[in-house]
Amino acid sequence: MSANGRTISGWKLFWLIGALVLAMSALILLLGPDPVEGLRSVIRATARTSFTLFLAAFVASSLATLVPNAFTRGLVRERRYVGLSFAFSHLVHFAAIVGYGALNPQFWPGRSALTNTPGTIGYVFILLLAATSFRYFSQRMTAAAWKRLHTIGIWVIAVIFGYSFFKRIPTMSALYAIPFSILCAAVAVRLVGKWAQATRRRQAQTRSSTRNTLNPHVLESL
Ligand code: HEM
């Protein structure tokens, strides 16, 4: 996360991304002739900023394994703040939905409990992942429970993004196949990266147990 040789990291990075998301949303509202359509555009635009930030957090550790360099290592280091920025961007998505629903009386009656279910599940997981990225909540969980929640949560959110783009391909535009394909590629990168990490771990374990059997002094010292 380097700009002009200077590093932006941690909360600074979070506030910078947050300010950019807010500035983008304000510009869309200011430049659009109609506030209702403007809010709809903000909903779409924040879904896209959220998607970009989500993807960065989703592939960070796999990318660092598959393509180790300063940028991918930086992405892993800043993953928590990128993830929190994703949650912030989706908070703006939510605020725009509430605003759109208030200005457009046909919006909520036009939706059903069924159409709201994936998005609601998504928000529950975004809230859980964001909350448990703070020590106050994470230290009340076992490391295994934290890992399980974050693995399940990140996949649930990936599936909701996939579903949100996929359902728009036949009804809105074939161009939604682009973000859907990007998501499929990110899934492939994540799976291959995790497989490479597991393989390396297994090889390291095999090497260390071979060293221990070859060096009896290690056993003596146990
Ligand atoms: C109950 C919660 C939610 C509601 C009511 C909702 C509502 C909406 C609405 C009204 C749109 C714009 C529709 C249009 O003009 O095409 C939209 C777009 C979108 N939403 Fe949400 N949303 C919710 C939660 C979520 C969640 C949790 C995610 C992802 C994890 C998500 C991802 C998207 C995506 C990808 C788009 C398409 C953006 C685009 O056009 O490129 N939404 N949502």
At residue 110, the pLDDT reads 96
* Mean pLDDT of the region 34-48: 97
Residue 211 pLDDT: 77
User: The tokens of 178 are what?
Assistant: 């682009």
- Gap between the Cα atoms of 173 and 167, Å rounded: 10
Per-residue model confidence (pLDDT) at position 6: 66
- Closest atom of ligand 1 to 100 CA is 10
Output the CA torsion 197→148→117→135 (10° steps). Answer: -110
Dist CA 31 CA 16 (whole Å): 22
Structure confidence at residue 206 (pLDDT): 87
Give the mean model confidence (pLDDT) for residues 103-132: 97
Q: How confident is the model at residue 7 (pLDDT cuts 50, 70, 90)?
A: confident
Question: Is the separation of the CB atoms in 116 and 80 below 8 Å?
Answer: no
Exposed/middle/buried for residue 84 (C-beta within 10 Å: 0-12, 13-18, 19+): buried
Would you say residue 14 has pLDDT above 90?
yes
Looking at 32-41, 137-146, 202-211, which range is the least confident one?
Answer: 202-211
CATH 1.20.120 fits 2-205, yes or no: yes
pLDDT at 208: 82
pLDDT of residue 222: 44
Average pLDDT, the chain: 93
Residue 3 phi/psi, 5-degree rounding, is -130, 125
- Over residues 107-125, the mean pLDDT reads 97
Cβ of 153 less than 6 Å from ligand 1: no
* pLDDT at 221 (0 to 100): 43
Q: How far is the CA of 181 from the centre of ligand 1 (A)?
A: 18
Cβ of 91 below 6 Å from ligand 1: no
- Ligand 1: centre distance to CA 182 (Å): 17
CB-ligand 1 contact for 183 (6 Å cutoff): no
Instruction: End-to-end CA distance of the chain: give it in Å, rounded.
Output: 43
* Cα 119 from Cα 157, distance rounded (Å): 9
Q: What's the pLDDT at 207?
A: 85
Q: Please state the rounded mean pLDDT for residues 194-200.
A: 95
